Amino acid sequence: MTRTVYSGAAVFDGARMHHDAVLVVEGSEIAGILPEAAAPEGPRVALSGGVLAPGFLDLQVNGGGGEMLHGGSGVEGIARICAAHARLGVTGLLPTLITDTADATQAVIEAGVAAAEAGVPGFLGLHLEGPHLDPKRHGAHDTALIRPMEAADLEMLCDAAVRLPVLKVTVAPEAVSLAQVSALARAGAVVSLGHSDGPAAEALRYFAAGASNVTHLFNAMSPLTHREPGLAGAALDQDVSCGLIADGVHVLPAVLRIALAAKRGRDRVFLVTDAMAVAGTDAAEFELGGRRILRRDGRLTLADGTLAGADVDMARSIRVLVKDAGLDLAEALRMATAVPASVIGESGRLGCLARGGPADFVHLDAGLRLAGVWRAGRPVALA
C-alpha cells in the first residue's frame, strides 16, 4: 500500500489544530497525524503553509456544474453535481431537491437510492427542501407547488428514509402535523424546520416532536424580535442544529457574530452553500422552474431581486467567518466538517482525519483559498 506524507501545513483533524505535524496517508485511508520529527519514510508532498483539513461536507446543494437536481436528473445528474463540488473541496454532500411535484420527488428518491447502490463518490444521501412549506416564506420556491403533507407523502418519505443512507427533509409547521414530524424522525429522517412564518412557541412544539435542525438560519423564516422570537429566535435558543449561509449576503457579518455567540460551545451551527447550477462554472445565469436566475456580484436572484440560492463555496464561507466575522479558524473549519458529520450521524468517520478513515481532505493556503483536494487519497482537479 502506497504511503504518502503531507508536510508544510498545519493539520486540523476535525477537532483541533496540529502545528509542526504531518498527515500520513496509506492508500485511500488516513494513517495518522504525527509530529514532524516522527514523520515516517515515504514519498512526501511538501506544502507551502496554510492548513490541511477534512474534506468539506455540504448538506444543502441544489446543483452544480451546470446541473440542478430535478426529477429527471438520474444517477448521472447526481454524479455530475457531486463531481462539480469535489472540485470546490466538498468531498461529501446531500444533493437537494427544492419544492417540486410528488412525481419528481419520487423520481429523485429512486435516483438517490440508485446512486447509493452505485457508490457515486461524494454522495451521502438526499435533502428534500419542500414542498411542505409556508407559502408566506417561499423564497425562490414555486408557490404553485407548495402544499400540505398528505398521507401518501408521508409514506413516500418514511420509505425513502429507510432506503437512503441519509434523508434530510425541510418542512414548515404550517404544512405538516406534529404526528407527521414524529413519524419521519422515527423512520430515521433528519427533520429540519424552514420556510416558516410561525411563532417560536410553535417551533418548540415541533422540536419536541422530532425536528432537530433549522434550514438556512434567518433566511425565509419569521425573524427574532423583542416580543416574538420567531423560528430564528427559537433556533438560537434551543439545542438544535442550524445550517448557515455565510456569504456575507444572506446573513451579514454582524448577525453571523450574534448567531455564533448564541450557539457557541454547542457545536450546533454548520455551513451550507445552498449552491445552484452555476457552482463550479462561469455561467452568468440559469433557469429554475421556467424562471431566469441572474448571477451578479456574488448573488443569485430572481428578476425581482429575491435571493435564489447562494453563489458561494465552502472556502469562501470560511474566509467570511474568519476575516469578516472574527471567528477562530478551527471553529470555522469545524462548521464545514465535523459539525455537519454529526448532523447526519457520521461523527468519527466523516468530517475528521481519523486513523483508518477515508483520506478525504483539502488544503487551504495562507489566505484560506482552496489549493488542493484529495478524495480517497487521490488528488481532485480544482474548479
Give the helix ranges, DSSP H, for the chain. 74-86, 102-118, 151-163, 178-187, 200-209, 230-237, 253-263, 314-319, 329-336, 338-343
- Going by C-alpha positions, the residue among 183, 174, 121, 173 that lies closest to residue 151 is 183
Cell of 48: 507551502
Chain centroid, CA 381 distance in Å: 21
CA 383, 125, 298, 72 dihedral sign is: positive
The Cα 171–Cα 281 span in angstroms is: 30
Residues 6+ apart with CB under 8 A from 254: none
Chain centroid, CA 214 distance in Å: 12
Q: One of 13, 142, 197, 274 is an active-site residue; which one? A: 274
Say whether 274 is catalytic.
yes
The Cα 206–Cα 213 span in angstroms is: 10
Residues 6+ apart with CB under 8 A from 16: 330
Burial 317-334 (b: 16+ CB within 10 A, else e): bbbbbbeebebebbebbb
C-beta of residue 257 within 8 angstroms of C-beta of residue 326: yes
Amino acid at 257: R
Active site residues: 274
